[in-house]
Amino acid sequence: MALHVTAADAADLTELAGVAARTFPLACPPSLTPDNIVAFIDANLSAHRFATYLDDPDRVVLTATLDGRIIGYAMLIRGVVDDTDVQRAVAVRPAVELSKMYVLPDSHGGGASNALMDAALAHATEMDGKSMWLGVNQKNRRAQRFYAKHGFVITGTKTFRVGQQIENDYVMVRQL
């Protein structure tokens, strides 16, 4: 079967939350404790939370499916968060945040990440974005290379809370 990227719906919530719980830890630096990772997943990546994301008119959740199963997802949020560092780093407005983008490890290298990115960029344009921005952990070199390959450049830094720990991220931006 072919890889498909579509907007998520309510029927996807349980499977989407399962994929999110499996993939989020893969992007975390070794300094994060398991308790803090679990706390973040419980607070932000449950089926209930995804239901609220789907109900938010300023968000789009995309799923990548292969052979009838979700293998990855991305979430877009219209706007720029109320954070001085991010406000400074994202100069071109209106902007859309690529809040989350993850693919299951057994699907790495199969084109799902590129397909999700292409769909995310298209949706950001449909959301009237003139730029897309994201935060990526400063130690996650693999993700930074992927985003740079897709035209994102580092424009600043910000912090990101995972449970009780504060992590340091780069802010990367791409004009649309």
Q: How far apart (Å, rounded) are the C-alpha atoms in residues 16 and 8?
A: 8
- Residue 157 CA to residue 54 CA, distance in Å, equals 28
Please report, as a single letter, which amino acid is at residue 10. A
pTM recorded for the entire structure: 0.95
Domain spans in the chain, listed from the N-terminal domain onward: 4-175
Alpha-carbon distance of 86 to 89, in angstroms, equals: 5
The confidence score (pLDDT) of residue 165 equals 86
pLDDT computed for residue 29 by the predictor? 87
Q: Which residues of the chain register pLDDT less than 70?
A: 1
Helix-helix angle 47-55:13-23, to 10 degrees: 110
Cβ atoms of 13 and 66 closer than 8 Å: no
CATH ID of 4-175, from 3.20.20.120, 3.40.50.720, 1.20.120.140, 3.40.630.30: 3.40.630.30
pLDDT score, position 143: 95
Q: What is the structure's pLDDT at 30? A: 87
